A and B are shown apart, each in its own frame.
Chain A
């Protein structure tokens, strides 16, 4: 998928003014934020479970080569073929080669964010393979030629009426208005795609090193269908998704759906190991697992390594006041919200996403809900430091920061300057005690007023003993 995060600011302006989008985003609050808080308490000792989950991810990341090799060995022993891809284009090429090797004409696909990184569908269409997205949300997006705007609920930006219109137009059937009817229609349209597909394509939520298995969590059952019916199964995932044992992955599965959709468990948790036995009636004859790097290995051993713990639950974006107001498309690539604001610059290049590390109030909500305890605000701050080091900040911002640093190192001048400053600003605030414009900060005051200071500095008040 093309990275357009360079246009973040102009996208934000568009998204904030989009009334339909704003209505759609308000549903995140009830369904995901309240949903999570209703079930996360089912976990007996949440702090201990989060600590254990972070430790499981760190155990792998600190010895990633070993665990990847162990996974590869176990998966291969059960008849799977493991491929390694440096870039998204490599993934596309490998999938096309597998398709050619097995005479594949059609593929049914369950949701995979890694395949969105690669732009797999377009590449396969070019290679003459018909690809059908089968996750309801991804199917809707495929019909509408749009990108997902959330990693768990890809079509959160669309309302029911838009989907009704889309189905009526694309399916050439009478327009349905009820959500249950729309789901039924999609089921009936897609069932033949599962039955006729030569190849099933899925992602992997986790790879289990102990058994060489691919684990996927799904609700709709399409993940089970694409990994059961077609004769070839290709699973595509990132190199960081390895987990040591079945017990370890169970701890993570206890946290993932609760953090993601407020479910105690997803309808289906499938652990897939190797190919079908001769006597089996179902299951793929060929099982290919593609491990994608795409910049991930550059984070290993770096100060950003904690980002690789991510299990893609989406809790950070659901709870982010920035995401809640602009939605996912404004971020310009596959991963939105706080985790995306870190991953997009790290995987795609810091220079290409100058605004993303700053698209956060650092309120810390994301770090509080992250099931694997990624210090997201700290990582955002580190990225801002990198931007400063590389001279990516505007001359004005650099000057302001330097001036402030100088002042902070000279307490007497600092006291005097602030004393004058707050009196002046208090005066400007007038009767309503609000500043409607500030020189050099119009980006802030264009959208809202700045509350005028009280007229005296904290230090003055403190000296007078008014400790309020």
Chain B
């Protein structure tokens, strides 16, 4: 008998019962219905609530009136923060007028040398000020991970109230979860030394969220 059979056998013997059809039905209906647990009250203003929570978790938030304004906003932010005026972006953002804003933006996955990574986001969650990122060929995971500055361009209409809402959106728009779903809530941090919070551990030092309607 292999380890799998032994472990499962011990569990079966300990619980020593056959599942009735009704019990099996409950299990499959639980999976099919995937009921929600107790939820926080839904905020009146999703965007305001998202902003407030994101700032609390040390993300910077800017708002653009339209997508075309994003490069100019980002250029000003990078300049004021004394950060390099170049970086890499997701293919879906390649068409924005980066050059006109004085930015050199390459559309490719990030490498260790890139200091600024610009991404979109699948959606965002107001409850915790969190971005939801789905990995894929057009949405490389490294862009939000390797550079010291992560910039996410987000359509405010894609802000949902809770993580449960985000799962529903994913179930509606994707046939299955991608290889990696990453929820990002601010810059990476550690409190391992003397329980003192320090921003910028192994991931980005800063996260800038630019809200811009698509």
The CA of A392 and the CA of B164, in the complex, are separated in Å by 50
B193 touches A250 (CB 8 A): no
* B151-185, CB < 8 A from A: 162-164, 167, 176-185
Residue of B nearest to A51 (CB): B38
Which of A155, A211, A267 has the largest count of B CB atoms less than 10 A from its CB?
A: A267
| A128 interfacial by beta-carbon distance below 8 Å | no
B26 to chain A, nearest CB (A): 9
| B73 interfacial by beta-carbon distance below 8 Å | no
Chain B: residues with Cβ within 8 Å of the partner, total of 69
B22 neighbours in A (Cβ, 8 Å): none
User: Would A267 and B41 be within 8 Å (CB), given that A153-B195, A277-B137 are in contact?
Assistant: no
B179 touches A179 (CB 8 A): no
B41 neighbours in A (Cβ, 8 Å): 44
B199 to chain A, nearest CB (A): 8
Residue of A nearest to B12 (CB): A65
Q: Which of A45, A90, A224, A254 contacts B145 (CB 8 A)?
A: A224
* A23-72, CB < 8 A from B: 24, 27-28, 30-32, 42-45, 48-49, 52-53, 56, 59, 62-70
| B188 interfacial by beta-carbon distance below 8 Å | yes
The CA of A131 and the CA of B96, in the complex, are separated in Å by 43
User: Would A250 and B167 be within 8 Å (CB), given that A31-B195, A300-B10 are in contact?
Assistant: yes
B202 touches A221 (CB 8 A): yes
In the A-B complex, the 10 residue pairs with the smallest Cβ-Cβ separation, listed nearest first, are A221-B203, A301-B14, A220-B201, A251-B37, A137-B192, A279-B137, A31-B195, A221-B188, A84-B4, A269-B183
Which chain A residues have a beta carbon within 8 Å of chain B's beta carbons?
A: 24, 27-28, 30-32, 42-45, 48-49, 52-53, 56, 59, 62-70, 78, 84-86, 90, 134-137, 140, 153-156, 159-160, 163, 179-180, 182-184, 187, 190-191, 194-195, 209-211, 213, 219-222, 224-225, 227-229, 239, 244-248, 250-251, 253-254, 261, 264-277, 279-283, 291, 293, 297-298, 300-302
Please list 16 pairs of residues, one from A and one from B, whose beta carbons are closer than 8 Å in the complex, sorted by A's number.
Answer: A44-B39, A65-B15, A66-B27, A156-B195, A221-B202, A245-B34, A246-B34, A247-B164, A250-B163, A253-B163, A268-B203, A269-B182, A271-B182, A273-B178, A297-B7, A298-B14
In addition to A90-B3, A301-B16, 12 A-B residue pairs with Cβ atoms within 8 Å of each other are A86-B6, A160-B194, A180-B198, A210-B31, A224-B145, A245-B31, A251-B37, A273-B180, A277-B137, A280-B179, A282-B140, A291-B7
